[in-house]
Structure 1
Amino acid sequence: MTTLAQQLATFAATSVKDGVPDDVSLSVRRRVLDVLGLCVAAHRLPTSRAAADHVADQGGRAEATAIGVARPVPATGAAFVNGVLAHSLDYDDTHLPSVLHPSASVIPAALAAGEAAGAHGRDVVSAIAAGLEIAIRLGMAGYDHELGNSVYFEHGQHATSICGAMGSAAAAALLYGLGEQGVLDALGVTASFAGGIIEANRTGGTVKRLHCGWAAQSGVSAAQLVRRGFTGPPTVLEGRFGLFRSFLRDQVDLAAVTDGLGSTWAVPGIFFKPYPANHFTHAAIDAGLLLRADGAPADPELVESIELRVPSAVIRTIGEPIDVKRAPVTGYQAQFSGPFAVVTGLLGGSGLGAGLDDFTDDLAGDPLRRALMAKVSVVPDAACDEIFPYQFPATVVVHGTDGQRWRAEVTTNRGGPDRPLSDAELGVKFTDNTRDRLTGEVAATARDTALALHTVADLGTLLRPLTRFTD
């Protein structure tokens, strides 16, 4: 019998050989634009400089471009740096209900391997599409419909980095020209590299920013090792000691890996993020914006209490420990705070409604925000539970000290298929992410080139201009 990994390898190789559907290709190109903007924006973080300096210190062959790094670096290093950058602002796209952020690892891996191999943009687009689809399907294999949550997350595992490493490996193997067998072996090798735990979401630490970089690097490294002769087990997924048994135990949906493979694509349905925060907080921001427009007070003296009603499963991420979530110390912690999200909406944000300037260390400690956050309770809501995790809904209720009550309900996420971001809105996000870093001319050229990636013969024409910042 053909194993699951063999079926995925056949699908991946066919995707590059025959190309992918037009809507899948367009979706990939829009995601490349999104990721590149995130990589530029993330250079404001100390952890981003640390990742870039770490790779620069390693030396090695000049093969690929790390965004914001002047000299080319080894492909594995470029994949690592760009993966760290892409995920560091929690502004990267999300697939539901698997709750994966697939583009932040697969796209950096594919761009690095593709540039190093001299691949045409057409093949890069197809390889990214295959890698994203594989990552999503492996994530969905761990989604428990009765539980309404990912089994990976229930075990404290970061599904994004685990499944992202596998998708990255497939994309990289394709671009190195390893074919179907090479993809199979790369999947088998990468499974031994995949990992990541999510405790930092709860109590702090910046290690999560490394996860997509490590996943992208793992995928490229595996492909390079396969090119040199390493092999992997064909039963790497469903085998007795394979990835699913190791990570998911017996809570696995094997059909999710292969049902409709090659005919039904999940890629176009991945949610873009309009706001630079954990996706569980987005409906809270939207609700806060609606309440602001409705005249709800944002003066702590006029607010008696605020209820943030959300799906039960997300409270541990954005509502616990409540004392920490009401008083984030850094902008990074604020990205995982339900109370901060509500207050950001109530006070009104930048960009598409809440932008990078709204998640800073200074604003995390702002006395006005702290006073309002102290009044926010994060509670489970049965109606939200019925919708989650196909959407991340929220209802916010503000009780005024004068007895008035304001209520806003948000049941669908902006940026998803039900409320898609337009090309113009994605352009606003890209411009906001690259302002003060790229000149208007460079940013416009990068935007146009990314959206036409399927016609680009040399990836360097897209990537090299993104190494020179204006500051």
Structure 2
Amino acid sequence: MNVQPTAAQRLAQFICQLKYGEIPAAAVSRCKDLLLDQLGCQLIGSLMPWNQPVYRFVKANKSGGPARIVKTGEPVPLDDAVLVNGTYAQGCELDDYYDQGGGHPGAASVPVILALAEQQPVSGQELVTALVAGCEVGWRVGRALLPELMRRGYHAQSAVGVFIAAAAAGKILRLDAEQMTHALAIAGSHAGGTMEYDQSGGEVKRVHNGMACCGGLRSAMLAQVGLTGPPTIFEGERGILKVMSGACNVEPLVKDLAVGDHLGIYHAAMKRFPVNASQHAPIELLDKIIRANGIAAKQVVKITAGVNEGILLHGGTIYEPQEVIEAQFSLRFSLALRLLKGNNDLQNYLDEKLWHDAAMLDIGRKIDLIADPNAVGPRRFACAMTIDLNDGRQVSDQLAAPKGNYRNPLTREELVDKFNRLGRGALGQDRLTGIVESVAVIENAPNVASLCGSMVAA
């Protein structure tokens, strides 16, 4: 009897066989962009007040260890380091995302890789290879689960991120194919987390990525010492595909599972604004339309935005934010900011007065969000928009992908500028410049532990 390998076994084999020398130069370059972007996100995340409960929890219970907390530098166990740094990684809504599927690959992999690099020697080439492995698994799992995952109320990063972290950790730990299969299978027991936070609030969402990093790291380390898991964790009757999406869409997990121009790392996108990824195209498109047509807020009668269904499920119902996370997930609030304030800078989302501002709320009531049947798959983050003006005119335009998407990437200069802006509140400019220079040639580093040290304030 010819027994076919399961999806987890095939993914594990790909991860274990992946070698730095076969990764295309373009993918290596994308990894370096992702790494720099993620380091900046961790630095600004370390400054955000809503992330401090996790830091205080770990600091109060720390017992020393090989890894360090970003910025403050306390030595803690690996679990605690990835919990805190993983929370920082996604704790400001400026982290990377996939242009298809769901999840945030850099946020789920970089904290894990760097924590392990403080425990054992990890070369720059190993770091890049682990990033590619983690990104590949997340891109595939996310496409297999979405959009039904979100319709059921699950948070994509909680469900997908744990597999990203497990794959990246397993690659660094040099697991064999059998152990890697078990790491992915064990990770399935950590997958979860709902999006109720965008309905009634709560800052627990900020910790979802830290939890995913912890779950993935533990899964790989438990597999390393002999714990086993179900090899049918994806396609089984009680596997995550059927449980979380109601179907068994295995094809995205295993189709074309090889190194090439379709690698998941190419589908990692970087953000410009501190909001959910689904909002970027509408914000950019509104800005484009009002600039091209000289439109002022007082002229606007109605804004109709055709977007992916996910926006309607993920913050599309928030008219008047009651806390920061609701402001960051409200597309109406973001569009009102762009129209009335001319920007979507973080400080505007932190300004409680703006949440309840009469002019902001008035613009929000003029915004009609509708599901665009064309905004799916590769066009998931596309937007079509029409603005009705008080002189009877209608102005329309569309955007296939926001800036930062792999089809419209941020330039190197834009990425460095973003990193410096995010990092300067946590580290001095000399330290930031050194990190930029190190990441630019990370593939040549015999050991990336020095990069970890650079993320601690002198």
Shift in alpha-carbon separation, 1:18–1:396, aligned structure 2, 3 A: closer
Q: Which residue in the other structure is 1:316 paired with?
A: 313
Report if the CA contact (8 A) 1:330-1:364 is conserved: no
For residue 147 of structure 1, what is the aligned residue in structure 2? none
CA contact (8 A) 2:98 2:139 kept: yes
**2-structure distance, mates of 1:231, 1:312:** 38
Q: Structure 1 residues 90 and 375 mapped into 2: Cα distance closer, same or farther (>3 Å)?
A: same
Matched with 2:295 is 296
Identity of aligned residues (%): 25
CA distance in 2, matches of 1:197, 1:459: 35
Task: Please give the alpha-carbon distance, in whole angstroms, between the structure 1 residues aligned to 2:40 and 2:281.
Answer: 23
Q: Give 2:86's match in structure 1, choosing from 83, 86, 92.
A: 83
Q: What amino acid maps onto 1:467 in structure 2?
A: V
Structure 1 residue aligned with 2:258: 262
Within-5 A mapping of 1:38-437: 38-143=41-146, 150-249=147-246, 251-263=247-259, 264-293=262-291, 294-299=293-298, 302-320=299-317, 325-349=318-342, 354-362=344-352, 364-365=354-355, 367=357, 369-380=359-370, 384-391=372-379, 392-437=381-426
Contact 1:80–1:217, Cα closer than 8 Å, also in 2: yes
**What is the letter of the counterpart of residue 91 of structure 1?**
L
Determine helix, strand or coil for the equivalent of 1:118.
coil
Contact residue 301 and residue 390 of structure 2 kept, 8 A: yes
Q: Distance in 2 between matches of 1:158 and 1:84?
A: 15
1:146 is matched with none
CA distance in 1 between counterparts of 2:364 and 2:154 reads 30
Contact 2:71 2:426 in 1 (8 A): no
Distance 1:373 1:205, change over 3 A: farther
Residue 459 of structure 1 corresponds to 448
Secondary structure of 1:111's counterpart equals: helix
Contact 2:327/2:355 (CA < 8 Å) preserved in 1? Answer: no
Instruction: Mark the runs of 5 or more structure 2 residues left unpaired by the alignment.
Output: none
Superposed CA RMSD: 2.3
Shift of 1:60: 3.1
SS where residue 184 of structure 1 aligns? helix
Q: Letter of the aligned partner of 1:134 in structure 2?
A: V
Amino acid aligned to 2:227:
F
Quote how far apart the aligned CAs of 1:37 are: 0.4
- Once the two structures are superposed, residues 101-140 of structure 1 have per-residue CA deviations (whole angstroms, 9 ceiling, x without a partner) of 2221122122212332221121111012101101111112
2:369 is paired with a residue whose SS is strand
Secondary structure at 1:414 match in 2:
coil
Aligned pair count?
A: 451
Structure 2 distance, partners of 1:83, 1:19, is 29
After superposition, give the CA deviation of every residue in 1:12-62 in whole Å (9 maximum; x if it has no partner).
111147552222222112111111101111123222211112222232342
> In structure 1, how many angstroms separate the alpha carbons of the residues matched to 2:46 and 2:356?
24
Partners of 2:271 and 2:10 in 1: CA distance: 31
Any conservation in 2 of the 1:186–1:226 contact (CA below 8 Å)?
yes
Distance 1:372 1:427 in 2: 37
Moved more, 123-132 or 443-452: 443-452
Q: Hey, what does 2:434 align to over in structure 1? A: 445
CA apart distance, 1:445: 0.9
Deviation of 1:219 (Å): 1.2
Would you say the 8 A contact 2:102–2:139 is kept in 1? no
Q: Is the 8 A contact 2:337 2:360 kept in 1?
A: no
The amino acid of 1:191's aligned partner reads G
Name the CA distance, whole Å, in 1 between partners of 2:17 and 2:398. Answer: 44
**Scaled by the length of structure 1, what TM-score is found?**
0.89
Alpha-carbon distance in 2 for matches of 1:375, 1:115: 51
Cα 1:288–1:162 shift into 2, 3 Å: same
Per the normalisation by structure 2, the TM-score is 0.91
